[in-house]
């Protein structure tokens, strides 16, 4: 059963734009979930994409959405329709996929949840749009050509918004955010698995606050 606090697709897109960053998290121990989210929130980003790369990922999502019903907790590394169903049942407020699966997009749209399928070619962009996606992950961003590639896409796809992810960090974030078609960037640099394993949530908070500052400055420059 979905909670009444699940935002609409339009609200979710507005939230993604508002935050400017989606922290991409790999949680290997459920007990890390709450301190991690509290560190992200303290740094200014009450949002996380919890990747389905560990056995406890969806349990962590349930813990987080129960403790913080209004938090923007999504599920990433959603590769199949079955993954998507499990993510939505766990309470995902948004769904992210490394590639484009029409079935994943269709199911999320049917359930009224924002889905960001991964794309890194014009053909994939067209396929994701045809499947009904409204916001596209650009993955792997740096390895696929980064800012230059997105600028090249802006001719035919000027009406399409992207969330570049993969190789984004505090140093190159502003370059992406300066592009009008970039809604936000995804990245794991402020929530590196080593920081979680070490319990270094103060460093998570500090790196998050630094990233939030980069977003604020990029937006001031407009
Ligand atoms: C991922 O799915 O792993 C994301 O793209 C994160 O990439 P990053 O670790 O390079 O930020």
Q: Which residue bears the tokens 């796809």? A: 157
What single string gives the DSSP state of each residue in 27-95? -SSGGGHHHHHHHHHHHT--EEEEETTSTTHHHHHHHHHHH-TTSEEEEE---SHHHHHHHHHHT-SEE
Question: What string of pLDDT tens digits covers the 222 residues of the chain?
Answer: 444 567 999 999 999 999 999 999 999 999 999 999 999 999 999 999 999 999 999 999 999 999 999 999 999 999 999 999 999 999 999 999 999 999 999 999 999 999 999 999 999 999 999 999 999 999 999 999 999 999 999 999 999 999 999 999 999 999 999 999 999 999 999 999 999 999 999 999 999 999 999 999 999 987
Catalytic position from the list 26, 49, 59, 210:
49
CATH number of the domain that 112 lies in? 3.20.20.70
**Residue 3 belongs to a domain:** no
**Residue 126 belongs to a domain:** yes
Tell me how far the alpha carbon of residue 174 is from its chain's centroid.
17
Determine the pLDDT at residue 2. Answer: 46
Q: State the distance from the centre of ligand 1 to the C-alpha of 81, rounded, in angstroms.
A: 21
Task: Give the total number of structural domains in the chain.
Answer: 1
Residue 201 lies in domain: 9-221
**Residue 1 belongs to a domain:** no
Residue 151 is a catalytic residue: no
Determine the pLDDT at residue 124. Answer: 98
Cβ burial of 221 (10 Å; 0-12, 13-18, 19+) is exposed
**Residues near ligand 1 (Cβ within 6 A):** 24, 139, 165-168, 186-189
pTM of the predicted structure, to 2 decimals? 0.95
Determine the pLDDT at residue 153. Answer: 96
Determine the pLDDT at residue 128. Answer: 98
Determine the pLDDT at residue 59. Answer: 98
């Amino acid at each position: 059963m979905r909670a009444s606090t699940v935002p609409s697709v339009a609200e979710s897109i507005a939230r993604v734009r508002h935050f400017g960053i989606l922290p991409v998290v790999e949680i290997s121990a459920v007990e890390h979930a709450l301190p991690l989210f509290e560190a992200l929130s303290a740094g200014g980003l009450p949002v996380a994409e919890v990747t389905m790369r560990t056995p406890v990922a969806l349990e962590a999502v349930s813990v987080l959405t129960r403790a913080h019903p209004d938090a923007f907790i999504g599920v990433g590394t959603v590769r199949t329709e079955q993954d998507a169903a499990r993510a939505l049942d766990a309470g995902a407020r948004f769904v992210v996929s490394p590639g484009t699966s029409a079935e994943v997009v269709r199911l999320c749209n049917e359930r009224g949840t924002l889905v960001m399928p991964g794309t890194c070619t014009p053909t994939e962009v067209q396929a994701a749009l045809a499947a009904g996606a409204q916001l596209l992950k650009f993955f792997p961003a740096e390895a696929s050509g980064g800012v230059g590639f997105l600028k090249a896409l802006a001719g035919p796809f000027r009406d399409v918004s992207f969330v570049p992810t993969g190789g984004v960090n505090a140093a190159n974030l502003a370059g992406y955010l300066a592009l009008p078609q970039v809604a936000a960037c995804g990245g794991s640099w402020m929530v590196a698995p080593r920081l979680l394993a070490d319990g270094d949530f103060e460093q998570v908070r500090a790196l998050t606050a630094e990233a939030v500052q980069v977003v604020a400055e990029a937006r001031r420059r407009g």
